[in-house]
Structure 1
Amino acid sequence: MADLKSQTIYRALRERILSNDIEPGARLVLREIATQYESSDIPAREALRMLERDGLVETEPYRGARVTTLTAREVEETYFIRSHLESIATGLAAERLSEAALGELEVLMERMQEAVDAQDGPRFSDLNREFHETIVAACGNEMLRDLTMDIWSRHSGFQRVFRLVPKRLATSQAEHEGIMSALRARDAERASKLALWHKRSVGDTVGQLVDGA
């Protein structure tokens, strides 16, 4: 029961953080969270640990937990690494992607377009992650996959961009179309270049969001 409750609290707080309902830098008080979600301290504490693992919350000794504040330097460094890792992974995937995985990507493209049409940032954000994870999983290099997914997991806060900058949805979807075209053609060089440009483009938008905060 505690595990189920901690997951419920985790998902609720995660959505509130990503939608900026709880703003960067806000303090998260354990007892207040437990009271709000009608739980004991144990599942509330576990939920905070999961959020910290996602990079959405940071805990300081004797000061408790706060929502992570993104810095311009962190955005720049993270997207520099991500753009190159995902560029390599996407190029490899173009050569190794199975027909089944390609079919999964086609379905995800349709669902992302539906989210764009509905201006559903949270839905697009989740599908966007699944889209890129499917590509990276198909690269055939376990170390590259693990490194890329580790960075994704530790910097979930960047997903706020699809909630806070609605026009980014259509831009990202157009960039996805280019990547998909290269994957369908098994064009590794073009897929790699387009993935690099895509991540740099997203990084620029996130950077502007941080600068304007």
Structure 2
Amino acid sequence: MENLAFTKNYATKQEVVYQALRDAIIRGQLRPGERLLLRDLAMRFDVSPIPVREALRLLHVEGWIEHKPHVGAVVSPLSEASIVETFTLKEGLEGVAARVATERIGPGQLAELEAMWKEMDDILRREQYDLWGDMNERFHRSIASCTGMPLLVEMTERIMLRWQRIRNHFFKEVFVAHLIPSHEEHRAILDAMRHGAAAEAERLARAHNRTALQCYMAYLHGEPMPCARRE
């Protein structure tokens, strides 16, 4: 936890601690199973134990940390079950988003998505994989935004935080291996949206998530990944 970065641009000390710890978990600065000691955190953030305790309570409610007997608060594991859950929810949300966005998208929004894909294509050619990952999240968030459904956008934002943590934890082992197939799948989704094929866009978005999940499961089980990069 030596290099935890945090900002005080939040309303309360509790929010400062909560946001900093959650971001550190997502980025992988705080690893699965790492202990979060109340007194140490209070000293690090220069606050009393009370806002730290409240921040830990909220992180526990949201599933970012868990409490172990005789150990205390620890960062939640990235288990196989949690990865499956994340991708299952992500598949449902992005499938609906692709279908509804296809039905409602305007020419300007479609042009923005096309420009985003071309930018990602250039980034991929330059092998700037981390930057491509950031753009990938932006791409999927943008499709959700095209639905005009605030609750769907909010739920997508929440599941993307879970996905960010998985991506950061398995970046080199799985994420980079899946880049080229994933990029091609984005192209197919966009083509379906451009032709107004809502059902096909949903099918492709769901398949996109299932393929990625298969890669993670194969990696966890020590099996060849079906999404290995194609040169």
CA shift for structure 1 position 69: 0.9
What is the DSSP-based 3-state SS (H/G/I as helix, E as strand, rest coil) of the residue aligned with 1:24?
coil
Q: How does 1:63-74 map to 2 (within 5 A)?
A: 63-74=71-82
User: Of 44, 47, 57, which aligns to 1:40?
Assistant: 47
Identity value in percent: 32
Structure 1 gaps, min length 5: none
Q: How does 1:1-213 map to 2 (within 5 A)?
A: 1=8, 3=10, 17-18=25-26, 20-33=28-41, 35-36=43-44, 39-41=46-48, 55-59=63-67, 63-116=71-124, 117-121=126-130, 123-153=131-161, 156-160=164-168, 163-164=171-172, 165=174, 166-211=176-221
> Bigger CA drift: 83-92 or 98-107?
98-107
Structure 2 gaps, min length 5: 1-7, 223-231
Structure number with larger C-alpha Rg? 2
Going by fraction, where is helix more abundant, 1 or 2? Answer: 1
CA shift for structure 1 position 73: 2.4
* Matches of 2:17 and 2:180, distance apart in 1: 31
What is the TM-score when the length of structure 1 is the normalising length? 0.73
> Bigger CA drift: 87-96 or 110-119?
110-119
| Alignment root-mean-square deviation, CA | 3.6
Q: Which amino acid aligns with 1:207?
A: M
What is the number of equivalent residue pairs in this alignment?
A: 210
CA shift for structure 1 position 47: 6.6
* Matches of 2:134 and 2:58, distance apart in 1: 17
What is the TM-score when the length of structure 2 is the normalising length? 0.68
> Bigger CA drift: 54-63 or 89-98?
54-63
Q: 1:3 to 1:112 in 2, by over 3 A?
A: same
Q: Which amino acid aligns with 2:189?
A: I
Q: 1:11 to 1:150 in 2, by over 3 A?
A: closer
* Contact 2:182-2:208 at 8 Å conserved across structures: yes
Q: Deviations over 1:82-130 (max 9, x none)?
A: 3133212201211211223223323432443344333432x33332222
